[in-house]
Chains A and B, each alone.
Chain A
């Protein structure tokens, strides 16, 4: 089983090979600099592969914990729902559910924080800074 750094180096090298192949679709003058950078990056990854050092074990269950996965997926879902539900509705639901997830008894606090943020974002961004947030079918 390869150590972590070697696996990382292999992944980088595979991506760089793909990137190099991809550069063939462009004129040579356009890709001189990217190829120069990719070559040096490839050399660095070879060095990392040969001398990976010792960074101990990285347990996937530690860097992909349930909380981190849930937070990441919820952030992605939050962003993807903007055009559907609208920014303000999505934000309200997101903040409310987020706080209740971590503090199940704090429903009033969650409502106040979610409502407070909606107000601040509306007043500061839409009214003062004229940043118009995506609208969905609700708001």
Chain B
């Protein structure tokens, strides 16, 4: 038995150093050299160099002048991510659907049938950075009005931000909300401070 134990412990030591440490350091080293931006978390920086977020992580947008991301079950908390874990029959889930549909209808002034599923449902991670193209189109009118722009001008920026599926068929068409909003700011300048900020149809 002691021989077994000593073999076992040696196996533990060798594999722990090899796979627990060396493997990690190898991957980290190569990633830091060849993919430094991604390795650090794909951070997006403002003109003065400070980080304003990550392209891969959704952040809260409630102002009328910005496109809004999908609802989040964790309030966009990127240190405690998660989904709602609601089943389709859960009454809380159904209530949330109704509330969000009402809020979107009021904010965007559209018919219910134009609202798509991704805008009504919480993402699995709570940090989904994308929305579908129809959901973006839904918000164009409101964003344009808030910024005093033509809807077509905003629509063009949206079009340019659509990412197609991989090789045309794998995955879905999507638009990164943070990148879209930054593109808007870059093209048309940052919007003025809003008069009434309040709890604008919270996208939670």
Answer yes or no: are A and B bound together in one complex: no
Q: Which residues of A are at the interface with B, using a C-beta cutoff of 8 A?
A: none
Q: Which residues of B are at the interface with A, using a C-beta cutoff of 8 A?
A: none
